[in-house]
Chains A and B, each alone.
Chain A
Amino acid sequence: GAVVSQHPSRVICKSGTSVKIECRSLDFQATTMFWYRQFPKKSLMLMATSNEGSKATYEQGVEKDKFLINHASLTLSTLTVTSAHPEDSSFYICSARALAKNIQYFGAGTRLSVL
């Protein structure tokens, strides 16, 4: 149990395009999902917290207009990187917090490369 599906696993795109990443909890409901970013040889950096039915809350320094988050249901959250630039290239990872549990389960991650 506790499977979180994230796709795509890898994206290569041109500068200026937008990229959407999906995060789904497959066998449990998640009122809260989190989006992280990880640079090489660094730890995970929380970008935003996504709550079902409400606006996402962003960590300090994260541009909300750049990283659009939608949490439309208890099993799906999406992150859209708008007008991507090479500096947005990174490993993006989502996690889902199981309802009635305080454990975060992670998706497999999306490696974004912006040319």
Chain B
Amino acid sequence: QKEVEQNSGPLSVPEGAIASLNCTYSDRGSQSFFWYRQYSGKSPELIMSIYSNGDKEDGRFTAQLNKASQYVSLLIRDSQPSDSATYLCAVEGVGGTSYGKLTFGQGTILTVHP
């Protein structure tokens, strides 16, 4: 059973702070990792994809991947109230019947308060 675990929330940060979201996965062979943002009542929206160890930055978002530790994280700098949402970590399957399928974590609810 391939698993994706996210740090339990909800997470509350003040406006302007850094929000840190964490995710671990069980399939050591995984190569593709994604962070999606989901507002209440809406479908997921892709924020970041990461495939190589290290950091990947896009605006206020930085994804970090450590395949040896089977760990992927998302940092949101200068958090804004509009960042308040559920953040979903997703890992793509690599072999057999899992190929191309995303396994999602349970999601972390982030609230950014003014």
Partner of A109, one of B42, B88, B102: B42
CB within 8 Å for A106 and B43 given contacts A43-B106, A44-B88: yes
The tally of residues in B whose CB lies under 8 Å from a CB in A reads 20
Which of B12-20, B21-29, B44-52, B67-75 binds A? B44-52
- Determine if A37 is an interface residue (Cβ-Cβ < 8 Å): no
**Nearest neighbor of B103 in chain A, beta-carbon distance:** A46
CB-CB contacts below 8 Å: A83-115 with B: 93, 95, 97, 102-109, 111
Residues of B within 8 A of A (CB): 32, 34, 36, 41-46, 49, 88, 92, 97, 100-102, 104-107
12 additional contacts (CB under 8 A) given A43-B107, A93-B43, A111-B41? A32-B100, A34-B102, A43-B88, A43-B106, A46-B101, A49-B100, A49-B101, A93-B44, A95-B102, A103-B34, A104-B34, A106-B36
Residues of A within 8 A of B (CB): 6, 32, 34, 42-44, 46, 49, 57, 93, 95, 97, 102-109, 111
